[in-house]
Amino acid sequence: MNNHNMSPEQNKYLRKVYKERKVILLYQIIILAVLIITWEICSLYGIIDSFIFSSPSRIVKTFIEMLMDGSLLYHIWVTLYETIISFALGSILGIIIAIILWWNNKISKILEPYLIVFNSLPKTALAPIFIVWLGHNKKSIIVTALTVAIVVTIINVFNGFSNVDKEKVKLIYTFNGKKIDVLKKVIIPANFSNIISTMKVNIGLSFIGVIIGEFIAGRAGLGQLIVYGSQVLKMDWVMMSIILLALLATGLYELIVFAEKKVNKFNE
């Protein structure tokens, strides 16, 4: 913990921060444990109906059973695959389109009202259309998720591009730089944190889009498992799938945070 290159005050501050993080983590674990224990006790003593609300023990039993027969891993893989594909497409296409809008001011002014309308439109209304066009398959689910994530990416990244310090841009042109030089040396570097922040939001939106698609057109995946479980009143499946979705979303989010730290460390 101690660093010989740091002053005693810096070491004291780092120890304080480290201790505070441990305390926060401890409280988070305690709260989670209390919620799980309370849920189990209420279910066990009939305070809540375990058939409707399930219970931690029943969820664990269902998880083990479905894990052993291989069906759960398949559902998880389908949802992860669709989410990663839609996230990657949404991020890449969104950044490319944002660059095009920044590059050509006329195009951005023409498309601005359409982007606003499309962003405000409930994506659940579009899902049935994609199903008719593409069929009950993974393509329609991925496209549904893509529509949820891509517009947010375009708007956030483009706004970041537009708000870059104008003096830095003028400096590039002063040294006979071209627009591509402005993009590479000013716009992209200045918006790195904005792009990463947008990707953090994007991963959650991609999950939402995939689950919407699986609700309507899925033949596999955690979203389809939730719908089927609610239809046949297997609430253990529903609650287990929701918990797994939360864990998967958190895991993918933390991967982006980890990548961000690595890139920041590399750029230092």
Report whether 142 contacts 83 (CB < 8 A): no
d(CA 67, CA 79) in angstroms, rounded, equals: 16
Q: Which amino acid is located at 42 in the chain?
A: C
- Tell me, what's the pLDDT at 64? 92
Q: Which of 227, 233, 230, 229 is nearest to 212 (CA)?
A: 227
pLDDT attached to residue 3: 52
The string of pLDDT tens digits covering residues 203-253 is: 888 888 888 888 887 788 888 899 888 888 888 899 999 999 989 988 988
Looking at residue 93, what is its pLDDT? 92
Instruction: State the Cα–Cα distance between residues 100 and 111, nearest whole angstrom.
Output: 11
- Give the pLDDT confidence of 45-56 residue by residue, as tens digits: 888 888 888 889
HSE at residue 40, side-chain half, CA atoms within 13 A, is 11
Closest CA to 133 of 148, 143, 122: 143
Query: Alpha carbon of 183 to those of 20, 144, 180, 198, 253: distances in Å?
Result: 41, 31, 5, 18, 27
Q: What pLDDT does 8 receive? A: 73
Question: What is the end-to-end Cα distance of the chain in Å, rounded?
Answer: 22
Q: Count the alpha carbons within 13 Å of 43 in the hemisphere toward its beta carbon.
A: 17
Q: What is the mean pLDDT of each run of 10 residues along the chain (268 residues)?
A: 62 79 90 92 86 87 89 91 91 91 87 84 78 81 87 89 82 80 84 86 88 83 88 88 90 86 70
Q: Which amino acid is at 166?
A: K
Alpha helix stretches (DSSP H) within 45-70:
50-53, 56-68
Cβ–Cβ contacts within 10 Å for residue 117, how many?
Answer: 10
**pLDDT score recorded for residue 268:** 59
Euclidean distance between CA atoms 146 and 88, whole angstroms: 9
- Positive or negative, the CA dihedral 59, 62, 67, 71 is negative
- Rg for the chain (alpha carbons), in Å? 24
Where do the H-state alpha helices sit in 121-268?
A: 127-134, 138-162, 166-174, 179-182, 188-190, 192-217, 222-231, 235-267
